[in-house]
Amino acid sequence: MTKLSTFLRVGAFACAALLMATLDAQAACTGVKRPSNRPPTLGFVERGDELTREMKFDDAIACYTAAIESTPAYVPSYVGRANAHFYKGDYDKAIADFTRAIELNPKAANLYSARGVAYQTKGALDKAIADQTIAITLMPDSAWAYQERCRARAQAGQGNAAIADCDKSIELKPEVPVAFEARGYAKLRARAYTAAITDFNTALNLYADFAEALFQRGVARRRLGQTATGDADIQRATELNKDVAAKMAKVGITP
């Protein structure tokens, strides 16, 4: 039932009560102690974004849900909630929210890329590759979509196609360390260890504390018999991110 039909059916008093309930909900979510002069939905989403940055994902989800209840067709509400679900590890819920966002805005390439990453993370590699392909069709200069299709293809064992995608991503944005890390991952999966180390070196030159690149360089070095330097890389990566070994194991990389 819309607010207008509520007003027409039960009168101005009930409409005012509905508005105050919405403002009360906004105050609870955003911490605002007085009515905002902005639409409540924006307050919910902004507070959800803040809570997500603070890694308070359950609270963020509550805010995004309030935004959806306030304005059911507002795409950023679904995207924000999808991201919070993703960071919590609830990949199916993230995919459901990205899917709803895509239904509302089917031409947004970044939404397909984001859903593709969620599919990849849960191991649905064919769906991940399909989503990144749609994103590339919609936005042919999306370095991110090429990069993430590279990663999904590498995980699926499609080494040459994966490396070609990363080559394109780097051509589009040569200053992004994650693109070189992704190509290094593809080469590591293809057992091209020396070439992988070169890409990890470039990624680390761009971002020295890149734990995933350090860990994978260590693995590549170990597989070339460079045990001491490989172990040093893996130790440093673990100091930077205690969960890096578990994360890399999920995509098939172990020492």
Domain 123-174: which CATH number of 2.40.100.10, 3.40.1030.10, 1.25.40.10, 3.40.50.720: 1.25.40.10
Model confidence pLDDT, tens digit, residues 243-253: 999 999 999 99
pTM: 0.84
Domain ranges (residues) in the chain: 26-106, 123-174, 176-255
Q: What is the pLDDT of residue 39?
A: 75
Give the rounded percent of residues in the chain with a pLDDT score beyond 90: 83
CA 99, 150, 157, 255 dihedral sign is negative
Closest residue by Cα to residue 189 from 125, 144, 114, 110: 125
State the CB neighbour count (10 A cutoff) for residue 168. Answer: 20
Class of the domain covering 176-255: mainly alpha
CB 186 within 8 A of CB 162: yes
Q: What is the pLDDT of residue 31?
A: 53
State the CB neighbour count (10 A cutoff) for residue 39. Answer: 15
Model confidence at 20, pLDDT cuts 50, 70, 90, reads very low
Query: Is 34 or 118 the better-scoring residue by pLDDT?
Result: 118
Fold equal for 26-106 and 176-255: yes
Model confidence at 36, pLDDT cuts 50, 70, 90, reads low
How far apart are alpha carbons 56 and 69 in whole angstroms? 20
Q: What is the mean pLDDT of the chain?
A: 89
pLDDT at position 15 over 50: no
CA 108, 110, 116, 121 dihedral sign is negative
Owner of token pair 């999808």: 82
How far apart are alpha carbons 15 and 169 in whole angstroms? 52
C-alpha distance from residue 200 to each of 24, 64, 94, 189, 215 (Å): 51, 37, 30, 13, 9
CATH superfamily of 26-106: Tetratricopeptide repeat domain (1.25.40.10)
How far apart are alpha carbons 84 and 52 in whole angstroms? 6
Return the structure tokens found at 62. Answer: 């509550």
